[in-house]
Amino acid sequence: MLAALYRGTAVLVPVLALALLPWGWRLAIGVLAGGALGASGLLYFDRMLANAIAGGQGKRRAAVVLLLRYPALLTALGALVCLGLVNPVGLCVGVGVIPLVSTVLAVGELATGRHASE
């Protein structure tokens, strides 16, 4: 299911960016940046969860990465928005692709009778 979520996001984000290009390149770049942000956050969470389930070592490293990740991310996003390189609405649209794709996948599985446990 997670692979399908990544594929759906990888398809929908560029399509949305191209569709929104007539409203400005900053909006399109914002959608791409927001989609990358959402996908990277999901990938990070997936790796962190898999490491915790497997009983992986490196709890200290994980804590340091977690503490540094968000301030660095907020600094980078703030710089992009403050310098006018991306549109904040585009960022929100791009990040919003992940819940949209996951909802579509879940409804599709319920409609076809397939479940992740099978």
| Residue pLDDT, tens place only, 50-90 | 777 776 666 667 777 778 888 888 888 889 899 999 999 99
pLDDT for res 56: 63
Among 9-18, 23-32, 53-62, 83-92, which is the least confidently predicted range? 53-62
Q: What is the pLDDT of residue 57?
A: 61
For helices 25-53 and 59-82, what crossing angle results, to 10°?
A: 170
> What is the predicted pLDDT for the residue at 30?
93
Mean pLDDT of 8-19: 91
For the record, the structure tokens of 41 come out as: 């956050």
Is the C-alpha dihedral spanning 52, 56, 58, 61 positive or negative?
negative
Ordered by start, the domain boundaries in the chain are: 2-112
pLDDT recorded at residue 33: 92
Q: Where do runs of H (alpha helix) occur along 1-118?
A: 2-19, 25-53, 59-82, 88-95, 97-112
Q: Kindly report the pTM of this predicted structure.
A: 0.79
Q: What is the pLDDT of residue 42?
A: 83
